[in-house]
């Protein structure tokens, strides 16, 4: 069965590691993440944005996840990532999703709170974990685009108020990471993260972890990050493996052959990120 991410994150918080969350897109990406997690005995979160749900189809995706959970020997959580539509979230919960992010971070503060509370109240009835974001990350995640000037780091005092008033299970923080790749090395506000961690009890989530130097991610985990979101690097691994295959085999046409090098590259990456999060042997 599909577990909620609550216990996965609470365990990580207690023991000082992070659970990696990979954005998946199709059967092959799910297979790879689950295989790697099983080989490393790591809990993992498989995340889907609205764009992915639209691409793969809600029923297909949820049932692929159910199959994955059945086969897996380690706990895997299926998580709705960056969902802005409350009705979409409610429908997915009724289909069996156990972990959701309601992203109302583009709204004014009080509206963010009331939208998140609406989701939390519904989710609680189904034992579903809710993540929400305070602050704004720059960059692009599917259709969600935040320009440089609109970025906003998380205010530690507001974070405390936000968590208390919404009743969320985990908080996504904006501390200088961005969705996608960086033009220059990201500047992470570690002091801010420390202040947030002191004021907030729920596990903290790092978005935009692709292309962040390993040492920086490790430091964020030491300072209280319990979930590390990786999307872009997984896409790059998949496509680069496939591109290389076609470079060497321009006449290829069998997906059962040309997808393999893409899967292999993804698997290497997933394993590297599990070690980075120190979540191996924690399942």
- Binding positions are 82, 103, 133, 179-180, 207-210, 229-232
CA distance 186 to 48: 25
Helix (H) or strand (E) holding 99: strand 99-102
Contact residue for ligand 13P among 43, 135, 156, 208 (CB under 6 A): 208
Adjacent-strand bridge partners of 78: 46
One symbol per residue from 233 to 262: x for binding ligand 13P (CB under 6 A), - otherwise; what is it? x-----------------------------
Helices (H) and strands (E) in the chain, counts: 11, 11
CB of 244 to Zn ion, least distance (A): 28
DSSP state of 211: T
Do residues 267 and 35 make contact, with C-beta atoms less than 8 angstroms apart?
Answer: yes
| Burial of 183 from C-beta contacts in 10 A (0-12 / 13-18 / 19+) | exposed
Give, as ranges, the residues between 150 and 179 that touch ligand 13P (CB under 6 A).
179
Question: Nearest 5 degrees, angle CA 254-CA 257-CA 263?
Answer: 130
For the segment 166-225, give every residue that binds Na ion (CB under 5 A). 208, 210-211
* Smallest gap from residue 23 Cβ to ligand 13P (A): 5
Nearer to ligand 13P, 50 or 75 (CB): 50
Stretch that binds ligand 13P, among 11-19, 128-136, 201-209, 249-257 (CB under 6 A): 201-209
Residue for token digits 């929400």? Answer: 132
The stretch among 37-45, 67-75, 187-195, 227-235 that binds ligand 13P (CB under 6 A) is 227-235
Asked whether position 207 contacts Zn ion by CB under 5 A, the answer is yes
Q: Which residues of 193-211 are buried (b: 16+ CB within 10 A; e: fewer)?
A: bebbbeebebbbbbbbbbb
Distance separating alpha carbons of residues 193 and 88, to the nearest angstrom: 31
Q: Which range touches ligand 13P (CB under 6 A), out of 33-41, 60-68, 223-231, 256-264?
A: 223-231
Q: Segment 136-155, which members bind ligand 13P (CB under 6 A)?
A: 141
**Of the residues 90, 115, 207, 282, which one makes contact with ligand 13P according to CB under 6 A:** 207
Cβ burial, residue 157 (10 Å; 0-12/13-18/19+) = exposed
How far apart CA 15 and CA 226 sit, in angstroms, is 10
Binding residues for dihydroxyacetone phosphate: 180, 208-210, 229-232
Considering only the stretches 51-59, 215-223, 231-239, 246-254, report the one whose residues sit in contact with ligand 13P under the rule CB under 6 A.
231-239
We find the least distance from the C-beta atom of residue 240 to ligand 13P, in angstroms, to be 15
Known catalytic membership, residue 81 = yes
Site for ligand 13P, rule CB under 6 A: 23, 81-82, 141, 179-180, 207-210, 229-233
Active centre residues (catalytic): 81
């Amino acid at each position: 069965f599909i577990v909620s991410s609550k216990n996965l994150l609470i365990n990580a918080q207690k023991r000082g590691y992070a659970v990696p969350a990979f954005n998946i897109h199709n059967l092959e990406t799910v297979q790879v993440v689950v295989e790697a997690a099983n080989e490393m005995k790591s809990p993992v979160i498989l995340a889907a944005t609205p764009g992915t749900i639209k691409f793969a189809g809600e029923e297909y995706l949820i049932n692929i996840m159910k199959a994955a959970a059945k086969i897996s020997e380690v706990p895997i959580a299926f998580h709705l990532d960056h969902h802005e539509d409350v009705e979409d979230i409610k429908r997915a919960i009724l289909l069996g999703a156990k972990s959701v992010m309601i992203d109302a971070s583009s709204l004014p503060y009080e509206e963010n709170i009331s939208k998140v509370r609406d989701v939390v109240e519904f989710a609680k009835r189904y034992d579903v974990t809710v993540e929400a974001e305070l602050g704004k990350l720059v960059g692009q995640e599917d259709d969600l685009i935040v320009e440089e000037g609109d970025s906003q780091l998380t205010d530690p005092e507001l974070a405390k108020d936000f968590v208390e008033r919404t009743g969320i299970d985990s908080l996504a923080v904006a501390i200088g990471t961005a969705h996608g790749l960086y033009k220059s090395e990201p500047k992470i506000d570690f002091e801010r993260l420390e202040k947030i961690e002191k004021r907030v009890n729920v596990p903290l989530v790092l978005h935009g972890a692709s292309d962040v130097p390993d040492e920086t991610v490790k430091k964020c985990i030491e300072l209280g990050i319990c979930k590390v979101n990786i999307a872009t690097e997984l896409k790059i691994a998949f496509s680069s493996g496939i591109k290389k295959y076609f470079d060497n085999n321009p006449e290829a046409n069998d997906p059962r052959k040309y997808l393999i090098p893409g899967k292999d590259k993804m698997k290497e990456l997933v394993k590297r990120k599990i070690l980075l999060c120190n979540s191996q042997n924690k399942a």
